[in-house]
Amino acid sequence: MEQHLPVLQIIVPLIAAPLCLLIRQRTLVFTLALSVCWATFAMAVMLLIRVVFSDTGAPGSPVGTVIIYQLGGWVAPWGIEYRIDALSVFLLVIVSGIGAAVLSYAPLSISHEIERDQHYLFYTAYLLCLTGQLGVVITGDLFNLFVFLEISALSSYALIALGAKQSRKALTAAFQYLVMGTIGATFILIAIGLMYQMTGTLNMADMASRLNTFSGPRTVLVAFAFLTVGTSLKMALFPLHAWLPGAYTFAPSVVTSFLAATATKVSVYILLRMIFTIFKPAFAFEFLPLDVGLMVLALVGIFVASTVAIFQTNIKRMLAYSSVAQIGYMVLGISFASVTGLTAGIVHLMNHALIKGGLFMAMGCIALRVGSVDIDAMRGIGRRMPVTTFAWVLGGLGLIGVPLSAGFISKWYLLNAALEKGWWPVAALVLASSLLALVYVWRVVEVAYFQSPLEQHSEVTEAPLVMLIPTYMIIGATLYFGLWTSFSVGVARQAAEVLLGVTP
Amino acid sequence: MMAGFYVVISRSNLVKKVIGLNIFQISVFLLYITMGKVRGGTAPILPEDVKYYQNGQPIPPEGFDGWSNPLPSVLILTAIVVGVATTALALALIIRIREAYGTIEEDEILERDLET
- Quote the DSSP letter at residue A408: H
Instruction: Give the Cα separation of A224 and A127 in Å (integer).
Output: 32
**B8: DSSP letter:** H
Residue percentage of chain A with pLDDT more than 70: 97
Rounded to whole angstroms, how far apart are CA atoms A156 and A172? Answer: 14
d(CA A199, CA A290): 23
- When pLDDT is cut at 50, 70 and 90, the band that residue A38 belongs to is very high
**Side chain identity at A371, as an amino acid letter?**
G
The CA distance from B86 to B84, in Å, is 5
Residue A365 scores a pLDDT above 60: yes
pLDDT at A54 over 70: no
Chain B, nearest residue to A78 by Cα: B71
How confident is the model over A358-375, as a mean pLDDT? Answer: 88
CA distances from B56 to A74, A201, B52, B53 (A): 21, 23, 6, 5
B76 touches chain A (CB under 8 A): no
Distance, CA of A119 to CA of A123 (rounded, Å): 7
Query: Are A178 and B89 an interchain contact pair (Cβ–Cβ within 8 Å)?
Result: yes
- How far apart (Å, rounded) are the C-alpha atoms in residues A48 and A64? 10
A51 in Cβ contact with A86 (< 8 Å): yes
C-alpha–C-alpha distance, residues A371 and A385, integer Å: 13
Could you tell me the pLDDT band of residue A452, with boundaries at 50, 70 and 90? Answer: confident
According to the model, what pLDDT value does residue A484 have? 85
Quick one: pLDDT band at residue A64, thresholds 50, 70, 90?
low
Mean residue pLDDT of chain A comes to 87
pLDDT at A63: 53
Compute φ and ψ for A374, nearest 5 degrees: -80, 150
Instruction: Give residue B90's pLDDT.
Output: 94
Residue A488 pLDDT class (50, 70, 90 cuts): confident
pLDDT value of position A174: 93
C-alpha span between A496 and B7 (Å, rounded): 41
User: Quick one: pLDDT at residue A57?
Assistant: 47
Asked if B86 reaches chain A (Cβ–Cβ under 8 Å), the answer is yes
Residue A68's pLDDT is 85
Mutate to test the interface with A, among B10, B37, B73, B89 (most CBs of A within 10 A): B89
What is the C-alpha separation between A487 and A499, in angstroms, rounded?
18
Predicted model pTM: 0.92
Chain B interface, best mutation among A143, A156, A167, A189, by max B CB count within 10 A: A189
Kindly give the parts of chain B with pLDDT less than 50: none
Q: Which domains does chain B have, with CATH numbers?
A: 2-40+70-115 (1.10.287)
The upper half-sphere exposure of residue A211, i.e. CA atoms within 13 Å in the direction of its Cβ, equals 30
What span, in angstroms and rounded, lies between the C-alpha atoms of A127 and B103? 33
In chain A, % of residues over pLDDT 90: 38
Partner A contacted by B7 (CB < 8 A): no
A116 in contact with chain B, both atoms CB, cutoff 8 A? no
pLDDT of residue A59: 43
Q: Check if B49 contacts A (Cβ < 8 Å).
A: no
Helix (H) or strand (E) holding A70: strand A67-70
Per-residue model confidence (pLDDT) at position A229: 93
Burial A71-102 (b: 16+ CB within 10 A, else e): beeeebbeebbbbbbbbbbbbbbbbbbbbbbb
> Among A114-123, A259-268, A300-309, whose mean pLDDT is lowest?
A114-123
pLDDT at A16: 92
The confidence score (pLDDT) of residue A55 equals: 57
A266 pLDDT higher than 80:
yes
pLDDT value of position A56: 52
Q: pLDDT value at position B23?
A: 93
Mean pLDDT for the stretch of residues A477-497:
86
pLDDT tens digits, residue range A74-100? 887 788 889 888 889 999 999 999 999
Per-residue pLDDT tens for A152-180?
A: 999 999 999 998 888 888 999 999 999 99
Task: Work out the average pLDDT over A136-140.
Answer: 92
Chain A nearest CA to B35, separation (Å): 7
Question: For chain A, what are the domain ranges?
Answer: 289-504
pLDDT at residue number B93: 93
> What are the backbone angles phi and psi of residue A246, rounded to the nearest 5°?
-60, -45
CA B70 to mean position of chain CA atoms: 16
Q: Is B82 on the interface with A (CB under 8 A)?
A: yes
Predicted confidence at residue A112, as pLDDT, reads 84
Element housing A68 (H / E): strand A67-70
Is A60's pLDDT higher than 60?
no
How confident is the model at residue A352, as a pLDDT? 92
With CB atoms and an 8 Å threshold, state whether A143 touches B90: no
A179 lies within 8 A of chain B by CB = yes
Which among B38, B93, B114 is the top mutation candidate for probing chain A, defined by the most A β-carbons within 10 Å of its own β-carbon? B93
Reported confidence tier of residue A503, pLDDT bands at 50, 70, 90: low
> Tell me, what amino acid is at A437?
A
